[in-house]
Structure 1
Amino acid sequence: MTTDVTDTGVGTIRSSFLGGGFMARVHTRAARAAGASLEVLASSSAMSAQQAASALGVERVADDVTELLTDAGDVVHICTPNATHADLSRQVIAAGRHVICEKPLATTLTDARELVDAARHRGVVAAVPFVYRYHPMVREARARVAAGEIGALVTIDCGYLQDWMLSPEDDDWRAISADGGPSRAFADIGSHLCDLLEFVSGERIVRLTARTRRVYDERGGHAVANEDAVAILAELASGAIGTLLISQMAAGRKNALTLELHGTRQSIRFDQERPEELWIGQREGSRQLLRDPQAAHPGVARFSRVPAGHAQGYQDAFNSFVADVYEAIRGGHADGLPTFADGLRAVALTEAVLRAADEQCWVDTTPGAA
């Protein structure tokens, strides 16, 4: 491992940003909440970079990644279209900077593996924002599963449903394979669902079969090659089986990420649109468990940024994720921090899902198989 990475000590983290869209807004808010100095931003053009920097409170603009890296500070946040992630991450790592890269980490398994190896060799902190891990009630669910409270896992029922691509007039760069990659619905939101499933259950998906559907072959006057929806049948390491439904065409569903685990003693359910609670199912009756840091499992309370009764949401989860990345940059340890290795896992699952759907077969998804 090399040792020429910027030494931040315990001072202010200096952050830079590639991209100026919605995710850059989320990232800059989180960086500011973590006490960072927002140094430089580069975007698709000089005009868009200047507009974004002004709106987001970033001090300076750069023409491109090369110029940004001459004075990027400690960490670079990559918030650009999917197809650019691998090359930009490669350049940031080569410059010895820590990196937070939006998912998917890469659009090919080969690139994702290379990035994991490069980050390890260079000795940089490299993270992917699977931020739903940072809802306090997700951590509570994980702790309860790990403590054996639900018993042995039997089945799973989970999904991630949105409706922003419901009509044929709905369009986005993600629908263009050259920008978004070969998968859209799964790579964009299904990856979050699978990460959450494996994180909370403490188990890997070991094999799966899948079906994909593309409803409209054309959007916005251009051909669409990636999918609108995915249905997956999966088996976990313990033998537990279950279904995962992912769709960007579910009318009325805005961000319905749900995870339900059924054990031999209890069931447990998390709904991202109701993040302050868990549903606990028992044969003799069910109940809603509300977020309360004073009653939480050990280690969970730190994810509660405000007292019980004061709602937390997506930006709070993102803020906690970025704070953990910055703590890792300072040399600390952050339990459950999603790294490039987790990004690689998501890319491997994406390729497995596309292969299973294309060949209509079961695919082994154990590490190294996909």
Structure 2
Amino acid sequence: MMKPVRLLILGTGGMAQHHAKGFSVIPGVSIVAGVDTRPEQLATFCKTFEIPNSFATLDEAILWGQFDAVTNVTPDAAHYPTTMPLLAAGKHVLCEKPLATKAADAEDMAAAAQRAGVVNMVNLSYRNVPALQQAARMVRAGEIGTVRHFEASYLQSWLTQPAWGDWRTESQWLWRLSSAHGSKGVLGDVGIHILDFATFIAAQEAREVSCRLATFEKAPGGRIGDYILDANDAATMQLLLDNGTLGTVAATRFASGHLNDLRLRIYGDKGGLEVSFEKQESRLRACLAPDLQTAEWRDIECPPVVPIYQRFIDAIQGKGPAEPDFARGASLQRLLDRAEASALQGGLSLAV
């Protein structure tokens, strides 16, 4: 019988609701505590999910110590300063993406996790897409041969249609447009997802990146109240992968008609794949031998994927790998940092 896992939830904002729901249905997992500096929100969260203990600070929780693992659902800038003491205390950690806001901190986190010998994972949520996982298996099995080219995109439209709310008046959206409020724009927010989507399926790391960023006029004077709207709204990148594969990556919040859609087309010398996640549904199509001559594309069946919450617990209990781990999170953060540096230099191609 597997040892039960006592879980602490760090941060009780909107995303923490998904974590609490996901972990609460896993046999053998007890959510034993919540941590948040906002007392009213913390109390409501713990009452909603019947969590018996609550702490105003992480230090108090660590001093208490009656937990085995943590899911870190704090804002991006808090990931590094909150995760490091947890690793020092020997706790397993699932951290929301991005792992940190700069590569140096992400690399510190990965090194500390390795030293601590604990399970460490980063929540790259699109790893839960069945078409992504099946495409990755097919590439690794050599079904499309040697990868040579790809094109990937992450398309959102919430700056042109208020499907999720009105960004002009709602702070939960408005902060994402202001660097002073912690936003790194579309590159920092969703760039990590589409870069992981593309390079994970391709089974290659990026060795060079060229990036251009654009920020568009969205309000008179470029601001709304205290929010200066200077974060990037669109990003385009060219990537050179380890084996010489060349590909393009785009991310935008101005893709009218696309609420939250990811696409990848990837081609090898023996075939091609088209991966999509649109309207919360994934699809995989392939053109393989003997269909290359007629360019016929066929739908590929994709088995369901175990959610990351279960995979985190499985890893703790020794029943599965800890993937994606902090090392992967740090690798992606290095790529994001270099993309941002490239944009500041007019799109100059930089080594990663």
TM-score when normalising by structure 1: 0.83
Partner of 1:5: none
Q: Which residue of 2 aligns with 1:125?
A: 119
Q: Tell me how many residue pairs correspond in the alignment.
A: 331
Does the 8 Å CA contact 1:75/1:99 hold for their aligned counterparts? yes
Asked if the contact 1:206–1:236 (Cα under 8 Å) also holds between the matched residues in 2, the reply is yes
CA 43–352 in structure 1, closer or farther in 2 if over 3 Å, else same? same
Alignment of 1:62 with 2:64, yes or no, is no
Q: Is the 8 A contact 1:82 1:179 kept in 2?
A: no
Q: Offset at 1:202? A: 0.7
The alignment partner of 1:346 has SS state of helix
| 1:169 equivalent in structure 2 | 168
Question: By how many angstroms is 1:211 displaced?
Answer: 0.5
SS of structure 2 residue aligned to 1:198: helix
Aligned to 1:333: 320
Corresponding residue of 1:99: 93
In 1, Cα distance between equivalents of 2:87 and 2:253: 33
Q: TM-score, normalised by structure 2?
A: 0.87
**What CA RMSD, in Å, does the superposition of the two structures yield over aligned residues?**
2.1
Q: Contact conserved, 2:168 with 2:174, CA < 8 A, in 1? A: no
Instruction: Select which of 325, 350, 357 maps to 2:343.
Output: 357
1:127: how far off? 0.9
Matching residue's letter, 1:86: Y
Q: Distance in 1 between matches of 2:181 and 2:316?
A: 30
**Alpha-carbon offset, residue 342 of structure 1:** 1.1
One-letter code of the match for 2:212?
A: R
Tell me the amino acid that sits aligned with residue 169 of structure 1: R
**268, 271, 277: which one aligns with 1:272:** 277
Q: What's 2:143 paired with?
A: 149
- Which residue matches 1:288? 299
SS in structure 1 of the partner of residue 231 of structure 2: coil
Alpha-carbon shift at residue 354 of structure 1 (Å) = 0.5
Distance 1:16 1:199, change over 3 A: same
Partner amino acid, structure 1, of 2:329: G
CA contact under 8 A between 2:147 and 2:268: conserved in structure 1?
A: yes
SS where residue 226 of structure 1 aligns? coil
Structure 1 residue 54 displacement after superposition: 2.1
- Name the amino acid aligned to 1:22: G
In structure 2, do the counterparts of structure 1 residues 160 and 220 end up closer, same or farther at CA, with 3 Å as the change threshold? farther
Change (3 A) 1:331 1:221: same
Alpha-carbon separation, structure 2, partners of 1:249 and 1:64: 39
CA offsets per residue over residues 100-132 of structure 1, 9 Å max, x none?
Answer: 111111112221111111111111111101132
14, 19, 24: which is aligned to 2:11? 19
- Aligned with 2:263 (options 258, 266, 270): 258
State how far apart, in whole Å, the 1-side matches of 2:153 and 2:45 are. 34
Corresponding residue for residue 300 of structure 1: none
1:180 is matched with 182
Change beyond 3 A, Cα 1:127–1:220: farther
Q: In the aligned structure 2, how far is the partner of 1:46 from the partner of 1:223? A: 29
Cα drift, residue 219 of structure 1: 4.2
Higher mean alpha-carbon deviation, 214-223 vs 277-286, is at: 214-223
3-state DSSP class of the match of 1:128?
Answer: strand
Contact 1:276 1:290 in 2 (8 A): no
Task: Say which of 113, 118, 122 aligns to 2:107.
Answer: 113
Q: Give the whole-Å Cα distance in 2 for the aligned partners of 1:17 and 1:173.
A: 24
Distance in 1 separating the partners of 2:159 and 2:125: 23
- Indicate yes or no: 2:194 matched with 1:190: no
- In structure 2, what is the equivalent of residue 46 of structure 1? 39
| Aligned mates of 2:188, 2:197 — CA distance in 1 | 14
Report deviation, 1:168.
6.4
Q: Distance in 1 between matches of 2:255 and 2:111?
A: 38
Q: Is the 8 A contact 2:314 2:320 kept in 1?
A: yes
Partner residue, 2:329: 343
Task: Return closer, same or farther for 1:72/1:28 CA change in 2, 3 Å cut-off.
Answer: farther
Which consecutive residues of structure 2, in runs of 5 or more, have no partner in the other structure? 161-165
Cα distance 1:34–1:148, how it changes in 2: closer, same or farther (>3 A)? same
Distance in 2 of aligned mates of 1:76 and 1:177: 28
Displacement after TM superposition at 1:68 (Å)? 2.4
